[in-house]
Chain A
């Protein structure tokens, strides 16, 4: 927890300006009709110019687009952490830590498969809290044990070293990856809710932000449950359950995974999400693809974050809405580029996009 005054006004002004320079929906329509190299050229004329130029000599086509997107995302999110101070930093960093988790997973997998560190490095999105030096040291080590030692002092150390023992016995990466995820979600709501000695704020921007983080956990649980129910895989749902949400508790999840319709009903009956997601749930009932539902979730979250940022102008809400919008942009461009590469039709690609 960092101390000192927070500076939402400054961060807000910068974030809103950057939010305004994101791609508009018309740009996506233009991009859908382009091939990968045209997309790269289009991006060169926008704010991705620097990344495209820096990477242009080493990569081409879809790879170039993908790495440029990642680098740009990392740059902007790193900026967010640089600007924020005090309480605001605290709130922003706990969400951006998900990139730390992603990077650590990538690095561990890289070590496991003995991939060249250079290649691993291009896959990283350096947007989280771990500094460049730690990540560079992680790239240098040869064994997972050493990697765990490098992250000592971060929040991930304890659970990673526990999981490492399990990894030594079984030789599977799953315990390590689960440990990272679990640590991330546990810290998401740390100090802000349900901890003794501190009451959860009931109204105001911070309460809404906590609601958003809870929604993140709920949707993660819902996604896992839906996937388990769909695939019929014989896995213990409790092993994937993440605490802190309001939609499920562990016993609900165990009961509902067996019955797909009951699961959808359970989400629809929840008073916090039922109304907002009614459209998406309707589509899910018609046994459409899960992807459609997940995109509807993303769009609903994004719209909600936008509303919040106009209700509470000087708070963490605007930052949150920018983070979501930027992630959406990166994902959309990636989907378009990948879709064009494998030759999907325009309408098929459009289905993959999250457009409001």
Chain B
């Protein structure tokens, strides 16, 4: 993507078809990166509440450790699904 931008900056003229394609691939990759990042942020936010509740439950009853752990990492699926976007775009 940076290459593509450089070309645009240096030439300042109409882009060659090659440069235009480079640019579009660059944008697509940037979009995928943002998507994954946002998904990770959302997962983190969701895990905040669940983790707090899980720690509370474990404090009362040790047997809750495994269910608590599972519940806490469930929102990670968000990030995994978002990773799919990277492969589709890439």
Contact of A14 with B by CB under 8 A: yes
The 7 closest A-B pairs by CB, nearest first: A13-B56, A17-B60, A13-B53, A9-B53, A9-B52, A10-B52, A14-B56
Q: Which B-chain residue is minimally distant from A11 (CB atoms)?
A: B56
Interface residues of A in 1-27 (CB under 8 A from B): 7, 9-14, 17-18
How would residues 39 to 63 of chain B score, 1 for a CB under 8 Å from any chain A CB and 0 otherwise? 0000000000110111111011100
Residue of A nearest to B57 (CB): A13
A13 touches B54 (CB 8 A): yes
**Residue A268 interfacial (CB < 8 Å):** no
Interface size on A, residues (CB 8 A): 11
Q: Which residues of A contact B (CB under 8 A)?
A: 7, 9-14, 17-18, 83, 314
Q: A12 — which chain B residues lie within 8 A by C-beta?
A: 53, 56
Can you name 14 A-B residue pairings with CB atoms under 8 Å?
A: A7-B52, A9-B52, A10-B53, A10-B56, A11-B56, A12-B56, A13-B52, A13-B57, A13-B60, A14-B59, A17-B56, A17-B57, A17-B60, A17-B61
Quick one: CB contact mask for B67-82 with A, threshold 8 Å, 1 for yes? 0000000000000000
Q: How far is the CB of A75 from chain B (nearest CB, A)?
A: 14
Given A10-B55, A13-B54, decide whether A314 and B49 contact each other with a Cβ distance below 8 A: yes
User: Which residues of B have CB within 8 Å of A83?
Assistant: 56
A27 to B40, CA, bound (A): 48
Distance (Å) between the CB of A65 and the closest chain B CB? 25
